[in-house]
Chains A and B, each alone.
Chain A
Amino acid sequence: MRLAVNGLLTSLLCVSAAIPTFAADNVTFSDDERTSIISHGPWPPKVSLDPSNRVSGNKSAIAFGRELFRSRFLSASRQHSCITCHKPNAAYADGLALSSGVTKVDRNTISLANLRLNRWYGWDGGSDNLWAQSIRPILDARELNATPALIAKRLRNDPPFSRGYQSSFKTSPNAHDDEQVLVNVGKALAAYQETVVTPRTIFDDFRDALARKETKQAKPYPETAKRGLKIFIGKGKCGLCHQGPNFTNGEFDNAGVRYFKPSGGIDKGRFGGIQKLKKSPYTLLGRFNDDPKNSLGVATRHVARSHQSWGQFRVPSLRNVLRTAPYMHDGSLAILKDVVQHYSTLNEERLHLDGGGLLRRLDLTDIEIDELVAFLETL
């Protein structure tokens, strides 16, 4: 892993030689910078169906999943639903520092969008597929607090939901055992969530114009955002982690945020996520994976805890980031400017830089902070 990271760093350092430049109004970008910017598109990217979920892309399952997502049917008390925390009008998050279902949870609600691009799910990567991640809050006593038996019983006794199940899976829920019913509920929820994709933004228009070398089309993109973009791909080295069209490498890092739980004790982050993954019956290595080739299970088989994974959390996508406040795994940073300031004044001694960590204190000026925020707001 360290070799891979070092290789990445080396290649990034080697591309710094600026030769020809592409002018987009007053701010100019070198060919290397242009290449870097273009790597953050196109958007939306082409995605394939999830081979581990036989109803991925299935219209009936998407409709069934949408109803399940909005219904309080999955909550033991019938008081909560997926949209309690993942509100469609709030970027599928809730705007709160910490999630709250039956009781308060110790983590911030992750915005649900562009999920087919993930390899791992949740702040700790405790799931390796979207249907398992959808089952997790159903069974979590702090969230929906249900059981496989309860979900199966309700579904079998509720004609509209039973029909939705039958239509999606071509089998009556009466023909499946409780756990299979629960897994299929997760798969229908996943099929629906896969359809939530963030729209194109003015950054995407700028990026595409840059790719086509069309100065005129690139011009409407704000100058301040361009300067912020220059920091993002240059001095800030933000793209080391926030890579590609979805602005994430899909992995985990220690961002220097405290990880004591608000309720007491420690949030192990990725370390705990891998522990959960290894024990879960709902992974790509388990019997509920619908992919006979198990083409995606290699990472799950080989992922291992390390000293570094203690206190690491997901590198989140920056798509739609303006709408997903507050930020970080514990929602401890209220606005985007707080996040940029956090990285600007990062306490490096919390990170053990010699152990392979990528983050460095950015020491940005106030103007640079505003410019970087202006760029992020265009995503």
Chain B
Amino acid sequence: MQKTVTRFIVGLAVAGFSATGNTADLPLVDAHIHYSHDAWEGLPPAKAVALLRKAGLKRAFVSSSSDKGTQLLYKVAPDIIVPVLRPYRKRGELGSWMHDDSVIKMLETRLAANKYAGIGEFHAYGDDVNTNVLRRVISLAKQYGIFLHSHSDAAVIDGIFKQNPDARVIWAHSGFTDPAEIRSMLKKYKNLWSDLAFRDEHATDGKVDKAWRKLFQEFPKRFMIGTDTFAPERWFYVIEHATWSREWLKDLPTSLAENIAWRNAMTLADWALKSKAVNN
């Protein structure tokens, strides 16, 4: 396992994500993939990884309910899977996990045993950020030097940075909010990234919306793409999503397109994974 991870880390450093200037075969890093129990029951790990490769993904940030799904994928394809630890043991905990103290032990145990780039994607709103469980999640991310992937409103993002000003956070779905609020949050927190999963307002028919273009140009190192395979059937959307992403990315200057396509996500993964020891 140690060898595998070492190979993976070296692979990240020399992955050869060259700026080809041709977005038709633009490498992509998908920052928002789940492989939960109902997905792995119908789509075995080897087939799931084959879909990711067919989409032309160089990396995929994967978190699952339960974490077993992520581990299954990582075992098959350590070169492509960036493991992220989800605080859910099964579907149905999305609205209750932050009130369940047993989640803490589960996270501590798994973080000690496995390698992760982050904790998330978790769902939290408003005062949820002050629950014991979420406070511990924030401190665990700090302890392990990994990012948080937060599906939340702006209040939770504020709360995370209040508890740890040095936290690194991916704001899932860019908070499902408008460019003005995203801009305000990105200005406020230099360690906040924004994923575009399940958002399509920023591009229509391959053309980037004016307000979003301005936002991308203003924060060229802060956005990343993501599919969000929240149901098993959506695994089959990964390829369509990659095609769609390449279409609208073509409408941006090459360097900016590459940042959003893969470089920003890779930089974050590199930071989280580099020189981390593996405990199993």
The answer on A and B forming one complex is yes
A307 near B231: Cβ-Cβ < 8 Å:
no
Residues of A within 8 A of B233 (CB): 258-260, 266, 310-311
Chain A contacts with B in 251-292, Cβ cutoff 8 A: 258-260, 265-266, 268, 271
Task: State whether A354 and B173 are in contact (beta carbons under 8 Å apart), knowing that A304-B204, A307-B198, A349-B92 are contacts in the complex.
Answer: yes
B100 within 8 A of A: no
Which residues from B are CB-within-8-Å of A305?
244
Q: Mark B226-260, 1 if CB is under 8 A from A, else 0.
A: 00101111101100110010000000000000000
Contact A306 B200 (CB under 8 A): yes
Q: CB of B151 within 8 A of chain A?
A: yes
Q: CA separation between A266 and B240, bound complex, in Å?
A: 13
* B257 CB to nearest chain A CB (Å): 20
Q: Are B176 and A355 in contact (CB under 8 A)?
A: yes
Contacts of B244 in A (CB 8 A): 305
Question: A350 contacts B240, CB within 8 Å?
Answer: no
Q: How far is the CA of A277 from the CA of B241 in the complex (A)?
A: 19
Name the CB-closest residue of A to B93. A349
Any chain B CB within 8 A of the CB of A216? no
A266 touches which of B173, B200, B230, B236 (Cβ 8 Å):
B236
Answer yes or no: A103 CB below 8 A from chain B CBs.
no
Q: Quick check: is A352 within 8 A (CB to CB) of the other chain?
A: yes
Residue on B with the closest CB to A258? Answer: B233
- Does B94 sit at the interface, judged by CB under 8 A? yes
Q: In the complex, which of the residues B94, B176, B241 contacts A307, with contact meaning CB atoms closer than 8 Å?
A: B241
Residue total for B at the interface (Cβ-Cβ under 8 A): 24
The residue in chain A whose Cβ has the minimal distance to the Cβ of B175 is: A354
Chain A residues with Cβ under 8 A from B99's Cβ?
none
If A266-B233, A349-B92 touch, whether A354 touches B176 (CB-CB below 8 Å) is yes
- Are A350 and B231 neighbours in the complex by a CB distance under 8 Å? yes
Indicate if B25 sits at the interface (CB-CB under 8 A): no
Q: Is B42 an interface residue when CB atoms closer than 8 A count as contact?
A: yes
B205 interface hit (Cβ, 8 Å): yes
In the assembled complex, how far is the CB of residue A310 from the closest CB belonging to chain B, in whole angstroms? 5
Give the docked Cα–Cα distance between A306 and B203 (Å). 10
Best-surrounded residue of A259, A268, A306, A349 (most CB of chain B within 10 A)? A349
**Closest chain A residue, CB of each to CB of B197:** A307
Pick the contact of A310: B42, B176, B232, B240 (CB < 8 A): B240
Least distance between A304 CB and chain B CB atoms (Å)? 6
Most buried by A among B200, B205, B233, B236: B233
User: Quick one: which of A260, A268, A271, A355 has the most chain B CB within 10 A?
Assistant: A355
The verdict on A347 contacting chain B, using a C-beta distance below 8 Å, is: yes
CB-CB < 8 A to A259: which residues of B? 233
| A304 contacts B205, C-beta separation under 8 Å | yes
In the bound complex, how far is the Cα of B235 from the Cα of A265, in angstroms? 11
Asked whether any CB of chain A lies closer than 8 Å to the CB of B187, the reply is: no
Complex: chain B residue closest to A265, CB-CB: B236
Residues of A within 8 A of B205 (CB): 304
Cα distance, A372 to B83, chains bound together (Å): 45
Residue B188 at the chain A interface, CB threshold 8 Å: no
The answer to whether A307 and B173 touch across the interface, beta carbons within 8 angstroms, is no
Query: When chains A and B are docked, how far (Å) is the Cα of A265 from the Cα of B233?
Result: 9
Find the B residue at minimum CB distance from A256: B231
Known: A304-B205, A349-B92, A354-B151. A311 touches B200 (CB 8 A): no
* Residues in B whose Cβ lies below 8 Å from that of A306: 200
Residues of A within 8 A of B241 (CB): 307
CB distance from B73 to the nearest CB of A (A): 19
Q: Is B110 an interface position by the 8 A CB rule?
A: no
Report chain B residues within 8 Å CB of A354.
151, 173, 176, 198
Instruction: Select one of A258, A347, A352 contacting B198, CB under 8 A.
Output: A352
Complex contact A307–B91 (CB within 8 A): no
Q: Which residue of B lies closest to A352 (CB)?
A: B230
* Alpha-carbon gap, A347 to B65, bound state (A): 14
Cβ of A271 and Cβ of B240 under 8 Å apart? Answer: yes
The CA of A310 and the CA of B237, in the complex, are separated in Å by 8
**Complex alpha-carbon distance, A311 and B244, angstroms:** 17
* Chain B residues packing against A (C-beta within 8 Å): 42, 91-92, 94, 151, 173, 176, 198-201, 204-205, 228, 230-234, 236-237, 240-241, 244
Nearest first, the 4 A-B pairs at minimum CB distance are A266-B236, A350-B231, A355-B198, A310-B237
Given A258-B233, A310-B237; 5 other pairs, CB 8 A cutoff:
A2-B201, A271-B240, A308-B198, A310-B240, A354-B173
What are 14 A-to-B residue pairs whose CB atoms are below 8 Å?
A: A271-B240, A304-B204, A304-B205, A305-B244, A307-B241, A310-B234, A310-B237, A311-B231, A311-B234, A349-B92, A349-B230, A350-B231, A352-B230, A354-B176
Binding site for B on A (CB under 8 A): 2, 258-260, 265-266, 268, 271, 304-308, 310-311, 347, 349-350, 352, 354-355
